[in-house]
Amino acid sequence: MIIIMKLGASKQNIDNVLGIIRTNGLEPHLSDGKEVTIIGVIGDKTRLMNQNLEIVDGVERIVSVTESYKLANKKFHPEKTVVKVGNTSIGGDEFTIMSGPCAVESEKQVLETAQAIKKCGAQILRGGAYKPRTSPYSFQGLEEDGLRLMKAAREATGLAIVCEVTSLAAIGTAVKYVDMLQIGARNMQNFYLLKEAGKTGLPVLLKRGLSATIDEWLNAAEYIMSEGNQNVVLCERGIRTFETATRNTLDISAIPVIRTKSHLPVIVDPSHATGVRDYVAPLAKCAVAAGADGLMIETHPCPEKALSDGPQSLTFAQFDTLCNELRPYIALSGKKF
C-alpha cells in the first residue's frame, strides 16, 4: 500500500502518519520528494483497515498495490486449481461441457436431456430447480422435486449435476442432491449466501454478476474460499452494457484477465451472454480460443415449449453439431474432449 501525502504536507502531518503505521505494527518506508512525500507500507494492510487513513490530515490518497483477494489470487497460489465435480474435473487437461435446460420441468425432459448431452460428450448436467426470474409471475422452478429429478438423471447417466441455489434454505436442500452448487449472476454479491455455499465444502460455480467488475467477482470467490472451500469455478456469462442486440455482452477478455489474476478455473456461458440461439456456437468457439476451461450451454428437448430461456436453448441436434465443431478448437487449445 502506498500513501501519497498532499502537496506541501507538514512534517507534523507526515510524522503523524508514520506513527499510525508503526503503532499498528507495520514498517513505513518514507520517500521524501521535493514537493510530494510518499509513504510505502509493507505487510498486512488489514491492520490499518479501521484507521481511515484517507481522511487523516495531509493525506492525498491511498493506492493499493496488491488485490484484496488473497486465496483466489494467482500471486499467492501460482499453480492452476483443478476442481473435482462428481467423477469429472474442471480446470485440468479435459475441457468441460455442462449442458441442460434452464429450468427442470419434468422427469422426461431432464432424463432425455441428460442422455442426449452425454452422447455428445458433455460431462455435467445443468438444470435450475430454484429460478431467479425477473418477474414473480414467471415459472419459479420445481424446487426440491426438481433436485430429485436431477439426481435421478445423474443416477441413470453417471453425469455430475449442477443446480443453482438462491437462498440458505435452497442450499440446505441442494446439498442432499447435487455435485456442484451454482451461485447465479443476481446473487454474486449476496455475501451471506456465498459464505453459506462455502461452508458446504461442495464445489461452487460462481457466475459473474450482471454489472460486476472482475475485481468484485474475484472478491466474491474469496468469500466462498475464506470459508475453507477452495473448489470454486468462475463462469463468465456476459455483462450488462448499452448494447441491446444481445441479452448481455460477452466479455471474452475476462478469460485472459482471470488467467493472469487467478488460479481458479473459468468457463463461459454463451447462452445467457447472448440470449439468442444462433450466437451461441460462434461465441462458444471464441471461449475455447480465449483459453476457457469449459462451457455452459442451455439445451432443451423442445426449446419452443421451454418454461424459461427457450430462445437461447439449443436443440439436441444443434448441440451435437456444436460439440463436433468444437473438437478441433479444443484440440488446438491443448485440452481433451
Q: How far is the CB of 102 from Mn ion (least distance, A)?
A: 3
Q: Closest by alpha carbon to 238, among 259, 210, 258?
A: 210
**CB under 5 A: which stretch of 10-18, 65-73, 75-83, 100-108 binds Mn ion?**
100-108
**Which stretch of DSSP H or E encloses residue 324?**
helix 316-332
Q: How far is the CB of 205 from ligand PEP (least distance, A)?
A: 9
Query: How far is the C-alpha of 123 from the C-alpha of 134, rounded, in Å?
Result: 29
Provide the Cα torsion 223, 186, 278, 128; round to 10°: 90
Does position 277 interact with ligand PEP (CB under 6 A)? The reply is no
Cβ neighbours, 10 Å, residue 235: 25
Does position 100 interact with ligand PEP (CB under 6 A)? The reply is no
Does position 303 interact with ligand PEP (CB under 6 A)? The reply is no
- DSSP secondary structure letters along 242-286: S--SSSSB--TTHHHHHHHHB-S-EEE-HHHHH--HHHHHHHHHH
Applying CB under 5 A, among 59, 114, 309, 326 the residue interacting with Mn ion is 309
Does position 104 interact with Mn ion (CB under 5 A)? The reply is no
Q: How far is the CB of 184 from ligand PEP (least distance, A)?
A: 3
| Among ligand PEP, Mn ion, none, partner that 185 touches (CB below 5 to 8 angstroms by kind) | ligand PEP
Applying CB under 6 A, among 102, 197, 322, 323 the residue interacting with ligand PEP is 102
Does position 128 interact with ligand PEP (CB under 6 A)? The reply is yes
What strands lie across the sheet with 2-5, from one edge to the other?
27-32, 37-42, 2-5, 59-63
**CB under 5 A: which stretch of 33-41, 140-148, 308-316, 326-334 binds Mn ion?**
308-316
Site string for ligand PEP, 132-171 (x = CB under 6 A): x-------------------------------x-------
**Cβ atoms of residues 211 and 223 within 8 Å:** no
Query: How far is the C-alpha of 279 from the C-alpha of 269, rounded, in Å?
Result: 12
CB within 8 Å of 268: residues ≥ 6 apart: 235, 236, 237, 250, 252, 255, 283, 284, 287, 290, 292, 294, 295, 296
Does position 285 interact with ligand PEP (CB under 6 A)? The reply is no
Among all residues, whose Cβ is closest to ligand PEP? Answer: 184
Does position 314 interact with ligand PEP (CB under 6 A)? The reply is no
- What are the phi and psi torsion angles at 59 (to 5°)? -90, 130
For Mn ion, the closer of residues 262 and 299 by Cβ is 299
Site string for ligand PEP, 210-239 (x = CB under 6 A): ---------------------------x--
**CB under 6 A: which stretch of 59-67, 179-187, 276-284, 328-336 binds ligand PEP?**
179-187
Work out the burial of residue 152: count CB atoms within 10 Å of its CB; fewer than 13 is exposed, 13-18 middle, 19 or more buried: middle
Does position 184 interact with ligand PEP (CB under 6 A)? The reply is yes
Q: How far is the CB of 91 from ligand PEP (least distance, A)?
A: 19
Provide the Cα torsion 155, 167, 68, 264; round to 10°: 10
Does position 247 interact with ligand PEP (CB under 6 A)? The reply is no
Could you give the angle at which helices 277-290 and 254-261 cross, rounded to 10 degrees?
30
CB within 8 Å of 19: residues ≥ 6 apart: none
**CB under 5 A: which stretch of 1-9, 99-107, 259-267, 325-333 binds Mn ion?**
99-107
**CB under 6 A: which stretch of 31-39, 148-156, 181-189, 224-232 binds ligand PEP?**
181-189
CB within 8 Å of 219: residues ≥ 6 apart: 68, 69, 72
**Contact positions vs ligand PEP (CB under 6 A):** 102, 128, 132, 164, 184-186, 207, 237, 272
